[in-house]
Amino acid sequence: EAAVTQSPRSKVAVTGGKVTLSCHQTNNHDYMYWYRQDTGHGLRLIHYSYVADSTEKGDIPDGYKASRPSQENFSLILELASLSQTAVYFCASRTDYAEQFFGPGTRLTVL
Amino acid sequence: KTQVEQSPQSLVVRQGENCVLQCNYSVTPDNHLRWFKQDTGKGLVSLTVLVDQKDKTSNGRYSATLDKDAKHSTLHITATLLDDTATYICVVADRGSALGRLHFGAGTQLIVIP
């Protein structure tokens, strides 16, 4: 079974501060994704990566950066956190057969 | 524009009753459709995947159908349990996307009461 872990599981940040969300997968998946979930909306793609040291923009990349230092690790970085970035963030990784496995999520609250 | 619409938004049923959740989508070209269960504060857990033009699957008390011509799927939950209380999310994979792009519905919140 694919294992995707995220840290921290929850975080409170101040407006204008820097936030880093981490994701780790242990199944040699090439593709990794970051999504955000807002109440009443489906998950939306922020950034993704298909190889280490390379990241791509998703549908809503503004205000976010991503980093893929290794195949196993994928980080989401908020350089200047804003109130509108309060959400639950999910990381996922993908097999060659397109099934995505999701992490447990990180609840971010920006005050 | 939202490409995956789920209905109802929320649903309350009594334990032991059956329920049906609906998913309509406009994703083109569509590949497979997957139903996920999301417990409050948790991640997404896959329940079933539908692949064929007209497909049916069964996973215990969960069964699902897909009609790609109608771009419509249903998830049936039989004899609901209190533990079925969760949000159920319909996700459609875009066959035209090499990155495996997924389109997510907003979910149906199911509440099972005693």
* Strand bridging mode B10-14 / B108-113: parallel
The size of chain B, in residues, is 114
Q: Is the dihedral of CA A106, A34, A2, B41 positive or negative?
A: positive
Tokens 């994704």 correspond to A33
Q: Identify the pLDDT of residue A5.
A: 95
Q: Are B24 and A62 in contact (CB under 8 A)?
A: no
Q: Is the dihedral of CA A109, B39, B66, B14 positive or negative?
A: negative
Residue A8 in contact with partner chain B when CB distance is under 8 A:
no
Contacts of B42 in chain A (CB under 8 A): 104-105
Kind and range of the H or E run holding B97: none
Taking CB atoms and an 8 Å cut-off, how many pairs form between chains A and B? 44
Cβ contact, residue pair A42, B107, below 8 Å = yes
A4-56 residue pLDDT tens:
999 999 999 999 999 999 999 998 888 999 999 998 888 999 999 989 999 99
* pLDDT tens, residue order, chain B (114 aa): 679 999 999 999 999 999 999 999 999 888 889 999 999 888 899 999 999 999 999 999 999 999 999 999 999 999 999 999 999 999 998 876 666 788 999 999 999 999
Residue B105 in contact with partner chain A when CB distance is under 8 A:
yes
